[in-house]
Amino acid sequence: MSKKQFILILNGPVCGGKTSAVKAIMPKYERVFELSQNAIKWLISDYTPDRDREAVQESLLLVAEKMLESGMSLILEGGSVTQAAMNKRLEEIGRNHGIEVTYVNIEAPLDVLKERFALRVKNAAETNKKLSFTDDKGYMERYDAYLALKGNAPIIDSSIYSAEEAASEIMALVQ
């Protein structure tokens, strides 16, 4: 649909609905690259957030630069405790390419988020899927980091909107 290059950063807490929104957006647009921290971090055999997060983010920024140079747009799911620094770097890369960054927050009420997280932890244990954290302390650290950076960007409540509805609302903001 969109011919104009864009950089879209979806900020939100863990289990806020970012991944579902990205999955709904990606098939509808040409030449959009998903900057996935998760895809890169799980390429590290013994990924540890405190040790490896910076290297993962630096790798992602190099990829972002190359994708923009090749004419692609970018979508990033935020959520790291160091997300603010990543966002600033993407803004700088965007400025260098004459592309504005659009921010959208995807969230739900905290009780809903914690229920979703408990289900994620349970499912991971049942399927032997690795998670970078599984406790309330780790969850709240990331939740508080999200609250600190959410700013005044538009908010999509994933407890109200389906992923498809959220995707439509989000993409209307980058057109």
**pLDDT per residue as tens digits for the range 25-76:** 999 999 999 998 888 988 999 988 889 988 999 999 999 999 999 999 999 9
Mean pLDDT of 95-116: 95
Cα–Cα distances in Å, from 94 out to 28, 126, 129, 166, 172?
A: 22, 41, 35, 24, 19
pLDDT tens, position by position, 6-20: 999 999 999 999 999
In this prediction the pTM is: 0.87
Give whole-number Cα distances, 109 to 38, 72, 156, 163, in Å.
24, 34, 11, 16
* Residue 43 lies inside a defined structural domain of this protein: yes
Q: Is residue 2 part of a domain?
A: no
Query: Confidence class of residue 1 from pLDDT cuts 50, 70 and 90?
Result: very low
Residue 104 belongs to domain with CATH number: 3.40.50.300
Residue 1 lies in a domain: no
Is residue 119, in this structure, part of any structural domain at all?
A: yes
Judge whether 124 lies within some domain. yes
Q: Which domain holds residue 86?
A: 7-174
Domains held by the chain: number: 1
Edge to edge, the sheet with strand 73-77 lists: 32-35, 73-77, 7-11, 101-107, 155-157
